[in-house]
């Protein structure tokens, strides 16, 4: 294999691309949430989840990690597969399957991701617009199927959906986004230790079967399926806070959506990185 992984998590940490150079990753793998709890693959944890590893392994140019994740409103078997398709092409895929321990597993969003440390002059190109890293933590999202990271010497890293992916309910919208993350060592996470470009392939519930209002992120959460909460949603017009905490990460109050998955139902995401020389 021409890439290195974290043996504890199965996440990629380095990719050696002939002629292009080494790509170091501060973060990778997947994240998903029911908005009441949150799972981060690269940390094997998050908030409000119980999990156990089922399998981590590799063969030739392929690595997989599989785990059982129990959330406050859902129970999933998740599997991430990283595969080198060619010396300059890498794929990362996620499959989540709702489990029969719950009649319904609620899902808010799911992502597959890569986090690359900022280098001098490294910019993102989204919808043909070249964007500088400004330490703003802004989610620059698109429904286009490809975005790019661009080096001053002409090298390009393409980040895109694999053909025919994602596979998810029509209630969920697929996005790609780049975020110009600033360093925040106080969080004590590797991916926030230095300024970085965060790349996400994401599916987000946008035609919800239930709405969730988050006061100060977890654990201050309520949803409109509870009768008293429904009254509060309407009285205080909490629906107006739709995704507010994403467009301004300092804005803690936000409303998000949930979609129910029945046992055996699944979603699948698959993205690829292609390293191109000038």
Q: Is the pLDDT reported for residue 38 higher than 80?
A: yes
- Model's pTM, two decimal places? 0.94
- Is the Cβ–Cβ distance between 196 and 26 less than 8 Å? yes
Kindly tell me if the per-residue pLDDT of 79 is higher than 60: yes
Q: What architecture does CATH give domain 3-209+259-276? A: Distorted Sandwich (2.70)
Alpha-carbon distance values, 250 to 24, 60, 123, 205, 254 (Å) = 28, 44, 23, 22, 11
- Considering only CA atoms, which of 191, 184, 200, 189 is closest in space to residue 273? 200
Query: Among positive and negative, which fits the CA dihedral 189, 20, 142, 180?
Result: positive
Structural domain spans, the chain: 3-209+259-276
The number of helices, as runs of H, and strands, as runs of E, in the chain is: 2, 23
219 falls in which pLDDT band (50, 70, 90)?
low
Query: What was the pLDDT predicted at 135?
Result: 94
Average pLDDT over residues 96-120: 97
pLDDT on residue 187: 80
């Amino acid at each position: 294999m021409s890439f290195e992984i974290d043996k504890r998590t199965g996440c990629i940490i380095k990719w050696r691309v002939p002629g292009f150079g080494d790509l170091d990753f501060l973060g990778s793998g997947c994240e998903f949430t029911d908005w009441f709890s949150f799972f981060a693959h690269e940390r094997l944890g998050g908030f409000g989840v119980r999990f156990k590893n089922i399998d981590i392994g590799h063969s030739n140019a392929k690595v997989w990690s599989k785990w059982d994740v129990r959330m406050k409103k859902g129970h999933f078997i998740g599997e991430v597969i990283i595969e080198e398709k060619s010396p300059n092409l890498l794929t990362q895929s996620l499959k989540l399957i709702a489990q029969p321990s719950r009649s319904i597993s609620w899902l808010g969003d799911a992502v597959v991701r890569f986090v690359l440390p900022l280098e001098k002059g490294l910019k993102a190109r989204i919808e043909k617009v070249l964007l500088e890293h400004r330490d703003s933590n802004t989610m620059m999202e698109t429904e286009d199927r490809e975005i790019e990271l661009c080096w001053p010497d002409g090298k390009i890293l393409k980040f895109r959906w694999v053909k025919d992916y994602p596979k998810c309910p029509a209630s969920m919208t697929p996005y790609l986004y780049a975020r110009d993350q600033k360093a925040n060592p106080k969080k004590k996470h590797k991916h926030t230790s230095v300024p970085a470009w965060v790349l996400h392939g994401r599916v987000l519930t946008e035609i919800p079967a239930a709405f969730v209002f988050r006061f100060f992120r977890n654990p201050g959460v309520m949803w409109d399926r509870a009768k008293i909460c429904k009254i509060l949603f309407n009285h205080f017009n909490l629906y107006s806070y739709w995704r507010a905490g994403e467009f301004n990460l300092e804005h803690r109050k936000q409303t998000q959506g949930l979609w129910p998955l029945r046992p055996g139902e699944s979603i699948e995401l698959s993205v690829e990185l292609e390293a191109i020389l000038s």
